[in-house]
Amino acid sequence: MMILSAFLPAALGFSLSQQSAYRTHTPRSSRAVVEASASGDVILIGVAADSGCGKSTFMRRLTGIFGGTNVGPLGGGFDSGGWETNTLVSDTTTVICLDDYHLNDRQGRKVTKRTALDLAENNFDLMYEQLLALKSGETIMKPIYNHVNGTLDTPEEIKPTPIVIVEGLHPMADERVRDLLDFSLYLDITDDVKFAWKIQRDMIERGHSLESIQASIEARKPDFDAFVAPQREFADVVIQVLPTQLIPDDKEGKILRVRFIQRDGKENYDPVYLFDEGSTIEWTPCGKKLTCSYPGIKFAYGPDEFLGNEVTVLELDGKFDNLQELIYVESHLSNTATKFYGELTQQMIKMGDSPGSDNGTGFFQTLASLKIREFYETLSGVTVEAETPKVAA
């Protein structure tokens, strides 16, 4: 199979505005493709986050970078005559939602008086057994938790694909499951930001009241703190989303400070760095090459400690005005795992309409996806062909 990326660097020695013109002349783009695994091994990736913290958005970015054909809900989804499923599949990637391992249905939890965040409400024995089987290349019959009516439905058949992503509340909570994961990531959204996002989705998109959203967040918080948040310590990468420091006492919460926290010493993972590996740097890129409106953009980079672990942190506070200009930022970062000059920028532009595309949440989710692709390639010996604009005939 011809890998276009080999000659793309030369083609991409141009501004991104030229690139978009280039793309209009090239109506089709090559898809990212994972070639058949040499070893047949399944690589297991865990993504932990609370509900409403951007897992689905991140999954779209990640699966987009892994590509594959026939991406969609297992069985075609309920609307196409299938069943209510939380599982997304392509020929290369399976995304399993760990809510499917809830022990009791919604009614049952009313009896136990526990929330789904409570470890006791999740069947980790079955989760471990089934993920181990999948990793060994076996097909499993996985339960389904139906979020529409709160029931545990007839199990569905999951066949192993080269990449299996498990996302949900507890991918790293059980030591046995945690040890099965090849790579783990935690989306750490602070309470204020979580609240703002929940309002966006549950109030504006789903018609819930402000009071009910507030009550639901407050009711979840003790169990969230007890059972979900401690997993941050075990994650290879944490994407931490905080209020901006660029506006003193900001109340609006529209500008975010996002930290890409990379655990040092992870095998097959070289931390992304800014300018000079290992140094401590602050960088304001606004100027001739990057347009910034108030309050601007600030990057920071350096070693740090996070929950007792030595880490390398890349931080971005602020909001981008023009995604095309991100190439300027990208060109100052190293170890980004891009396959050609401008790939990070290209992915940001491609997902431009998704939440967080104008700030560090989208930027670091994209960077994480590229790093996970690189990690997968190193571990499996398989090449993932990058999605590149197709060269016009």
Ligand X SMILES: O=C(CO)[C@H](O)[C@H](O)COP(=O)(O)O
The residues of the shown chain that bind ligand ATP, judged by CB under 6 A, are 49, 51-57, 197, 200-201, 355-356, 361-362
Smallest gap from residue 288 Cβ to ligand ATP (A): 28
Smallest gap from residue 360 Cβ to ligand ATP (A): 9
Question: Which residue, among 46, 95, 96, 8, has the nearest Cα to 386 in the 3D structure?
Answer: 8
Smallest gap from residue 99 Cβ to ligand X (A): 4
Q: Give the separation between CA 53 and CA 220, rounded to whole angstroms.
A: 14
Phi, psi of 209 (to 5 degrees): -85, 155
Give the torsion through C-alpha atoms of 226, 229, 235, 239, to 10 deg: 180
Per-residue x/- marks for ligand X, 74-113, CB under 6 A?
A: -------------------------x------x-------
Smallest gap from residue 52 Cβ to ligand X (A): 8
Smallest gap from residue 242 Cβ to ligand ATP (A): 13
CB 189 within 8 A of CB 139: no
Select the binding partner of residue 193 from ligand X, ligand ATP, none (C-beta < 5 to 8 A, by kind). Answer: none
Judged by CB, which is closer to ligand ATP: 11, or 49?
49
Judged by CB, which is closer to ligand X: 50, or 343?
50
Select the binding partner of residue 258 from ligand ATP, ligand X, none (C-beta < 5 to 8 A, by kind). Answer: none
Question: Which residue, among 5, 116, 103, 101, has the nearest Cα to 46 in the 3D structure?
Answer: 101
Q: Give the separation between CA 199 and CA 207, rounded to whole angstroms.
A: 10
Q: Is 201 in the site for ligand X (CB under 6 A)?
A: no
Q: Is 147 in the site for ligand X (CB under 6 A)?
A: yes
Phi, psi of 382 (to 5 degrees): -100, 140
Question: Which residue, among 240, 273, 263, 265, has the nearest Cα to 311 in the 3D structure?
Answer: 263
Q: Is 150 in the site for ligand X (CB under 6 A)?
A: yes
DSSP assignment, residue 359? B
Smallest gap from residue 298 Cβ to ligand X (A): 33
Give the torsion through C-alpha atoms of 206, 189, 56, 174, to 10 deg: -120
Q: How many residues bind ligand X (CB under 6 A)?
A: 8
CB atoms within 10 A of CB 175: 10
Judged by CB, which is closer to ligand X: 295, or 355?
355
Binder among 116, 213, 290, 348 for ligand X (CB under 6 A): 116
Select the binding partner of residue 216 from ligand ATP, ligand X, none (C-beta < 5 to 8 A, by kind). Answer: none
Burial of residue 203 (CB within 10 Å: 0-12, 13-18, 19+) is: middle
Which residues of this chain interact with ligand X, rule CB under 6 A?
51, 99, 106, 116, 147, 150, 168-169
